[in-house]
Structure 1
Amino acid sequence: MGTGSREENASKQRNEPSIVVLKDNNALVIHALDDAASRLGLHIGQPLANARAMCPDLRVFDADVVADAKTLSDIADWCDRFTPLVALDSPHGLFLDITGCAHLFGGEAALLQTLVRALARQGFAVSAAIAGTSVCARTLTRQATGIIVADGGEAEAISSFPVSALGAGEAITTGLRRAGLKTIGDVASRNASEITARFGARFSTLLAHALGQGDAPINPRKPLPDYIVEKRFAEPIATDTMIAMTLSRLADTLIASMEKQGKGARRLEAAFFRTDGVVRAIMVETGRPVTRSAVIDRLFRERLDALADPLDPGFGFDMVRLSASRTEIVVQEQRDLDAHVHDNDELAALIDRIAARIGGKRVVVHLPQDTHIPESAVLAAPAQHHLTAAMQAEWPARVESEPPLRPLRLFDKPEPIKVPFATVPDGPPHQFTWRRALHAVVRVEGPERIAMEWWRQDGKQLTRDYFRIEDAEGLRFWIFRDGLYEGEVFDADGSPASPGWYVHGLFA
């Protein structure tokens, strides 16, 4: 008896209409609904109070907008297997531009059937349609599923649909019904200027696109790669050996395609499509155009080995795709007689391998900047993109047998020190306290006076005096006084204040 009761309750819950509500303008409205609720005449955007009046037994759930957006994005990633041009139609839909792709799946009908069945197996209720314009396809999905409209047949296909299928908003839909225009065909039969004058140009454009009269371009989530190669499997693969072998073969095909146009890859992405709908994408970048498949194999091997979240095949990958999203023309150079060229190639390859393991932003080179401000004199830039500039950079020459004028490395932020007094108003300190340790000054070199760039100081034109300091323990510091004693620094009340002292770096 207990088991039967649970089964009856579960069956009853499945048959009860369910809706998801979202707060809009201080009122709860329907954000999503199931087929049972739709058959009762409920629709998206309807106030919850009205829905309860029509159906007191409604099952109501609160919307989770963030989770819904993440799920929709995951579905969009999975749909990349059909076309690289996938756009979000938030909050519930996707646009897929399948121009030139349908024949790869046996035609439009076979593609549509494959997509709907695969998503249904993943637990999603899908309404899909194919039409010549994106607006017409979206209108079709609001009333039926599985419809394929030939070019030129958009107006006839949607003429019998209610005006709410256009998704123009509650106010316009109500206005059309009050005017006696209950179907899209009724609205289309009226003069366009009359519709524009009554409901606005935006609605007129929406109606024209739904009828197949022009179309607004979709905005794909990802830019179309320059080159794409992929491999589909009748039986999913799951072993590291098969994955590596597949990537190697795809790399050979990709390099051959680029070689015909004299190009090399700078940014590569490998996408792995699991049978349960999960998609994992891995990207690598290179400092110079890659023209050999062995280099691609090595970079992806380094990347896969270094993943903090290892590649999980689950029940297997049924498709692997390799794409080059950024390519450049390969410039032919004389390389046989120039030893420096080979050294540069080896250095670039090493940087690419390290970047594949720890990330390109963590491998940097330092470039000199034309400024006398110490913290701005060096710019840290990604090594992959600035290697040539770093090798050609000209740094200030150092005088032989002389100590360096500045530390090799500065603190990220100058650290304050306590100076009880200076030998003279503009002179160095006699002693100072840094990090709770007292340092007695025995040798001093300086000052080196630096005036700050006035356009970056928010009106505070401060002057720094830098000193090279050595204490009794032999430690050498680079310290500065921020401001002068002649009234360049002021307190909040406007009275003169003592300038501050800071340590900016340490000498070896």
Structure 2
Amino acid sequence: MVVVDKLANALRLTAVDEKAAKAGLYKGMALTDARAQFERLDIAFASPRKDAVLLEKLADWCDRYTPIVALDEPHGLILDLTGCIHLFGDENSLVQDIHKRLFHSGMIVRSALASNPAAARAFARHSPGGNIAMNDETHRLYTLPLLSLDIEETHLASLKRAGLRSVGDIDVLPRAALTARFGASLVDRLDALFGRQDKPITPRRIVPVCLVERRMAEPLVAMESVEQILLSLSDELFHRLQQRVEGAREVEACFFRADGDVRRISIQTGRPVTETRTLFRLLKERLSTLSDPLDAGYGFDIIRLAAVLVERTQAIQRSLDNRTQETEEINTLVDRLSIRLGSSRVLRAVPVDTHIPERAVLMEPAIKAKSDTSFEWPLGSHPDNPPERPIRLFQPAERIEVTFEVPDAAPARFVWRRVQHIIVLAEGPERIAPEWWREHAGALTRDYYRLEDNKGRRFWAFREGLYERGDPAPRWFLHGIFA
């Protein structure tokens, strides 16, 4: 069997199976040449997108071994097993478990265990792999071919013409000469291979701050038992967080099925959660609102609870009758509504430091808004006095036709939505200039007025443009209505 793809306007082999490799077919060979040698070929067309999806699923599956998993596209994965090996006995047992499980799923992989990601990648791709002993790692790296450096083809050809064939042949050369001839990238890759340069991997998921899990001797099928395990894991998670004087703002529950499927359920809260009862109630609420209900299938062999985002906790002030404050009840309601309806549908108004009225408030998800957000009353007004600005504004402001005695004065009457309003009282103007650092060149200064008509209705209107400056055709708009 061969896999083909269109490369350089020709169909070429991108992968071959074991039989095809033994018969002399190789990666990069033209399909016409392969057919000339063998009439019967099982041909499959390459699908990089499906390969990427499969690699993502394998990465999710590998989370059962470590939370630090990185993609090494197009065909590889890098796992940081630091601190995780004791869960499986030793390094050999862990690697054997990975190979065994993937073999039962119809996949054959090659792996290598080394002291750093670059060395492990090179051993897995350009050698038989295996568990590389620390005292033998340098010697094994010296025997790797130049291809393991992943350098440009032109540099690779130049090194081979100079009689260099292995990594060891290059490592003994002076660094200055290598940098001058081939650039700093070659030296950087050499240093990364031998661990002289610290290049940590980039995990595809945020590494949890605190993590607890249960590994089942037999796959767990009953959902009632799953809830009991979640309750037990919540107790253990919060016990660890209490020792750190922290509460969880985001918790992720992971369910690893025996058939390799992984389900993740995320819980976000507007305040640090420190109690099992609160988290368990939110988890049950989230499970009940899933469009694709959680299905145990062949059973869960691992259930994990991880605190992804944490925050320092503070003592909650209780009232004299031992009831929580009203803000605590509101926060609980916000959390439940956000889980049931989605965080993008439960919003909270957050003040913005700007003097432009329509930008003074920003709507953000309520669970993400800071609890210490304060609001300053505009222009020195006081909450006990009548408001100087309406609470709700028109977006955008609506155009009105205005009649006035003097061009720069307040309007005497205006027409809005085909209804005429005669003004008996006007206050202003309040002049607001555009934000020159973000406005376009055509933005004009506004003069705002608080108006009251003969029927007692109060409006907030502004004139865009100033006659005294010679602005072309100043216009009037109604921006809001007072209650």
Q: How high is the TM-score relative to the length of structure 1? A: 0.79
Structural mapping, 1:95-134, within 5 Å: 95-134=78-117
Letter in 2 for 1:150: A
Question: Deviation string for 1:453-508 (max 9, x for gaps)?
Answer: 3424334462323455678999765443322345643xxxxxx3x22333323444
1: CA distance, partners of 2:170 / 2:19: 29
- Which residue of 2 is the match for residue 17 of structure 1? 2
The alignment status of 1:453 with 2:437, answered yes or no, reads no
2: CA distance, partners of 1:405 / 1:261: 47
2: CA distance, partners of 1:476 / 1:33: 79
2:299 is aligned, of 305, 310, 316, to 316
1: CA distance, partners of 2:166 / 2:351: 69
Does the CA contact (< 8 Å) of 2:192 and 2:199 recur in 1?
yes
Does the CA contact (< 8 Å) of 1:375 and 1:410 recur in 2?
yes
Does the CA contact (< 8 Å) of 1:464 and 1:481 recur in 2?
yes
RMSD over aligned CA atoms reads: 3.6
Count of residue pairs the alignment pairs up: 473
- Which residue of 1 is the match for residue 257 of structure 2? 274
- Which residue of 1 is the match for residue 326 of structure 2? 343
The alignment status of 1:296 with 2:296, answered yes or no, reads no
**Closer, same or farther: CA 368–262 of 1 in aligned 2, 3 Å:** closer
Shift of 1:249: 1.0
- Which residue of 2 is the match for residue 501 of structure 1? 476
2: CA distance, partners of 1:73 / 1:120: 18
The alignment status of 1:462 with 2:444, answered yes or no, reads yes
2:209 is aligned, of 218, 226, 238, to 226
Question: Deviation string for 1:421-468 (max 9, x for gaps)?
Answer: 65653443745354xxx2222346435432223424334462323455
Shift of 1:193: 5.7
2: CA distance, partners of 1:76 / 1:488: 65
The alignment status of 1:174 with 2:166, answered yes or no, reads no
The alignment status of 1:483 with 2:478, answered yes or no, reads no
- Which residue of 2 is the match for residue 13 of structure 1? none
Q: Secondary structure at the match of 1:319?
A: strand
The alignment status of 1:419 with 2:386, answered yes or no, reads no
1: CA distance, partners of 2:146 / 2:64: 34
The alignment status of 1:410 with 2:390, answered yes or no, reads no
Question: Deviation string for 1:274-295 (max 9, x for gaps)?
Answer: 2333322222223333221111
Which range moved further: 173-182 or 26-35? 26-35
Question: Deviation string for 1:267-314 (max 9, x for gaps)?
Answer: 211112223333222222233332211111011122222334433444
Letter in 2 for 1:363: V
- Which residue of 1 is the match for residue 134 of structure 2? 151
Shift of 1:54: 6.6
Does the CA contact (< 8 Å) of 2:146 and 2:166 recur in 1?
yes
Letter in 2 for 1:292: E
The alignment status of 1:74 with 2:57, answered yes or no, reads yes
Does the CA contact (< 8 Å) of 2:4 and 2:46 recur in 1?
no
Structural mapping, 1:51-66, within 5 Å: 53=33, 56=36, 63-66=46-49
Question: Deviation string for 1:248-271 (max 9, x for gaps)?
Answer: 111011112222333322221111
Letter in 2 for 1:344: T
**Closer, same or farther: CA 164–377 of 1 in aligned 2, 3 Å:** closer
1: CA distance, partners of 2:449 / 2:294: 54
**Closer, same or farther: CA 389–55 of 1 in aligned 2, 3 Å:** same
- Which residue of 2 is the match for residue 4 of structure 1? none
Does the CA contact (< 8 Å) of 1:304 and 1:310 recur in 2?
yes
Shift of 1:95: 0.9
Which range moved further: 95-104 or 184-193? 184-193
1:42 is aligned, of 12, 15, 26, to 26
Does the CA contact (< 8 Å) of 1:264 and 1:290 recur in 2?
yes
Does the CA contact (< 8 Å) of 1:21 and 1:32 recur in 2?
no
- Which residue of 1 is the match for residue 237 of structure 2? 254
Percent of residue pairs identical: 40
Letter in 2 for 1:206: R
**Closer, same or farther: CA 131–421 of 1 in aligned 2, 3 Å:** same
**Closer, same or farther: CA 83–370 of 1 in aligned 2, 3 Å:** closer
Question: Deviation string for 1:122-151 (max 9, x for gaps)?
Answer: 454422111222222212222455511111
Question: Deviation string for 1:291-342 (max 9, x for gaps)?
Answer: 2111110111222223344334443322111111222333346646487863
1: CA distance, partners of 2:286 / 2:249: 15
